[in-house]
Each structure stands twice: as C-alpha cells, then as structure tokens.
Amino acid sequence: MERRAAAKVELNEVAGSDLVLLTWVGGRTARSAAGAAEDAYRAIAGALRDRGCVPVQERVFCNLQVAPAVGAGRDRALIAASEIWPVPPTLVEGSPVGRVGIAGIHVLAARGVARPAAEGDRVYGSLVETDTVRVLGLSDVGRRASGRLASGPAEDAGAAIDAAEQMLAREGFSFRDVARTWFYLRDILDWYGSFNAVRNAAFGRMGLLGPSGAGTIPASTGIEGRNARGGWCTLYLVALQPQSGCRLEMRRLHSRKQSEATAYGSAFARAMELVLGDARYVFVSGTASIDDRGATVHAGDFEAQTRFTLEAVKSLLEGAGASLADVRQATAFLKNPADGRSFDRIAERSGLGSVPFVTAVADVCREELLFEIDATAVVSLGAERG
C-alpha cells in the first residue's frame, strides 16, 4: 500500500475560520529536492492566495543535506508568485521514509495582515492581525543567541526559551498566551532529562505550573531533530490574543488514557483546545505509547505502540467533542524507517487514510519508543450547533 504516491496540498476547509492548516506531502517524486520544493511552494502560495491567507509559521521536514536546495526552490517559487512572506523558513531534520529529500511541509496561516516579528534585520516570526485575533508564530528563536554559543545542550535549550519569552514580550504577549510549542532536539536521547529540567524550571519561574495538572502550560512536541545551524534546540511556538470585544477561549485538555506528563517530569499539556470565531481547534501534543502511570507499554512492538498511541489521541479528541475524522494536520515520527508500511496500514484501518500526514524518521524521547504522533483537529462550531 502506497498512501503517499503523489504530492498534494491539504487544507482546512472550515468556512470563515480565522486559522488555516495546510500541509504539503511530497510522496515519492522523482524531482530533485530543489524542484520538489519549488513545486510545493507554488502550490502552497496559490492555496493561501486563493483563500486570502498569509503564513504565520512554516515547518519544513527534510534531510539536512538538501536544506540549501530546498531553500533555493522556495525562493524561486515565491519570486515567481510575486510573494514576500514575513515568516522565515526553518528546516528541521525529518528524514522521509526510505529516501532522501523533503518529507513534507506544515503551514499555519491566518486571514489577516502580517508583519515580521523581528529585532533589527533579523526576523524570528510573523505577527498576523485578523478581525478577531492576534496570532504570533515564532520559528527557531534559539537563533537569537546563536552568536554566543551555549556551553551545552541544556544551556542551549534554556537560551531558546529565554529568547522566546523576550520575543513574546516584545510583541505584547507572554507564555500564558502560547497554545502550542514544538521542540526539535539534536541527539534527544542523550539529554532529554536535562531538557525537561530546564523547561520545568523556566515554566515554574513564569508561574505556569499549577497544582494537580491545573497549570497553563502549552501543548508541545519534543522530538529528535537537528538543525542546519548546529544548535541543540529548535523551538517553534504559536501564541494568540483576542482583539478587543472578540471571543477566544483556550482550555487545557486532560487524557482519560494517559497520566499528566507533569506527573513524570515533563511540562506540557496533553492537548490544548482553542475556540476562535466559528471553529474549535485541538492541538494534540506529541503522543507515544505511555500509559496512565507514565510507563512505556508494548516495548519493541511497533504496531501495538501505534495502535495504543492512536487510541490515546482519539480519547483526547473526544474530550473536546472531536474525533480522528476531524484531524486536519499531523506528523508521524518513526524510529525505524522499515515500519513505514505498517504505519500506513494502521492509519488506514483507524480512519486516518485521508489525513495529510508528514511522516519522518526520528528518535522519540525514550529509547524503547518506536512511534510518536502530533496532530491538530478542527471542528466547525456551526456544524456542532447544527
């Protein structure tokens, strides 16, 4: 079964919604990395233009050796489309299964007016103002400290979080406005415990860690991922604030199938629900085969881990009135590329065959974990009320 035989763009089609989720999946194209990137960004730019959207954030997954070619293809496509995007591209290593090239591209966009989030001539993200919300996307803010290299991975992660906090404040936000973070960590298995200690300390200092899992910590992914600048930690985030008189609700979700990650020392929410305009968005954190006591289950069994993980995601979504059928964007991380076909089969049987997965090869946060998924679901409030 070859579920990703052709390149495609998938779009959240909820009418009138402020946020748009778009994914390009490369498939087994014969095009070079530069050619594939050019094709991808022509399609992405056209899809955004047709819907009156501007990009808030891009996450590009590819082999690092093709990163320069991907950047060149992106530039050619945007020049041809007469597009100037304020959001900076950041490429994270996410090797496609069984080949070299681009695994896929995730874009978060909004219907509004964008400007760069920058310091001087260095752009770290994009701020989009819509009629109802301010949306800030930051991309690899660790670059802000890259001129003064940290002495080790934990220090590098701390510098990235500090830089994000400062950039948020510069734009009138704080970490309390952050719905979602993504941490891509070089050599994750060597220092994931130290990373958690640094994040816990930072979120504790910010007052985000409430008692009994009641804190306002964001949903998050923490996964293996090198970056082209050689840093230890690449941090992306999305923060949102309502415009005056407009509705924005943000609620941390809890899992019936898994314990709180804070119970075993990892400071992230299992999922974050966002009610904005006429849609409900559910940002599901990176989820793996971990039970309600924080222990790995089905060690060494990829298919059992994957089924357990998808059931955990299903449970989270149900807590927000959503289902797997509402997933509009997802990333699947496989420790072993040989498990790609097994994942395709399980996804099809779970009703996820039409979901635009970006599937990448990467270590998960524990040696025995073979699979992780993160996802975003979208539910039309009009459909709920109808």
Q: What is the CATH number of the domain that holds 113?
A: 3.30.1330.40
pLDDT in tens for each of the 386 residues of the chain?
334 444 566 655 554 568 999 999 876 665 789 999 999 999 999 999 998 999 999 999 999 999 999 999 999 999 999 998 877 677 889 989 988 899 999 999 999 999 999 988 889 999 999 999 999 999 998 888 765 555 799 999 999 999 999 999 999 999 999 999 999 999 999 999 999 999 999 999 999 987 655 678 999 999 999 998 889 999 999 999 999 999 999 999 999 999 999 989 999 999 999 999 889 999 999 999 999 999 999 999 999 999 999 999 999 999 899 999 999 999 999 999 999 999 999 999 998 988 888 999 999 999 999 999 999 999 988 755 44
pLDDT score at 384: 55
Separation between Cα atoms, residue 10 and residue 373, nearest integer Å = 18
pLDDT score at 5: 41
Tell me if 300 sits within 8 A of 310, measured CB to CB: no
In a domain, 3, yes or no: no
Q: Give 67's contacts (C-beta < 8 A, 6+ positions apart).
A: 91, 228
In a domain, 156, yes or no: yes
Relative to beta strand 19-25, strand 102-110 is: antiparallel
Q: What is the distance in angstroms between the CA of the first residue and the CA of the last residue of the chain?
A: 37
pLDDT score at 345: 95
Query: What is the domain count for the chain?
Result: 1
Can you point out the beta strands (E) in 13-76? Answer: 19-25, 54-62
HSE on the CB side for 243, CA within 13 Å? Answer: 12
In a domain, 365, yes or no: yes
In a domain, 227, yes or no: yes
311, two tokens? 């059931």
Separation between Cα atoms, residue 72 and residue 280, nearest integer Å = 36
**Degrees (nearest 5) of the Cα angle 182, 116, 16?**
75
pLDDT score at 6: 47
Query: In terms of pTM, does the model score above 0.85?
Result: yes
33, two tokens? 């990395």
Tell me if 174 sits within 8 A of 160, measured CB to CB: no
**Degrees (nearest 5) of the Cα angle 255, 222, 172?**
90
What amino acid is encoded at 352 in this protein?
Answer: L
Measured between alpha carbons, how far is residue 116 from residues 41, 85, 137, 180, 242 in Å?
Answer: 19, 9, 10, 19, 19
In a domain, 369, yes or no: yes
pLDDT score at 55: 93
Q: What are phi and psi of 369, to 5 degrees?
A: -85, 130
pLDDT score at 172: 97
pLDDT score at 212: 59
What is the number of other CB atoms lying within 10 angstroms of the CB of residue 165? 18
Relative to beta strand 279-287, strand 371-380 is: antiparallel
What amino acid is encoded at 318 in this protein?
Answer: E
pLDDT score at 3: 42
Separation between Cα atoms, residue 134 and residue 110, nearest integer Å = 10
Q: What are phi and psi of 334, to 5 degrees?
A: -115, 130
In a domain, 2, yes or no: no
pLDDT score at 28: 61
In a domain, 323, yes or no: yes
DSSP-derived secondary structure letter, 207: T
**What is the residue range of 152's domain?**
8-385
Relative to beta strand 357-361, strand 327-334 is: parallel
pLDDT score at 203: 96
DSSP-derived secondary structure letter, 88: P
Tokens 């971990």 sit at which residue?
A: 290
Can you point out the beta strands (E) in 111-246? Answer: 113-119, 122-129, 133-139, 178-185, 219-224, 233-242
Greatest Cα-to-Cα distance within the chain, rounded to the nearest angstrom: 56
Taking alpha carbons only, the member of 48, 10, 15, 13 closest to residue 26 is: 10
Separation between Cα atoms, residue 96 and residue 85, nearest integer Å = 26
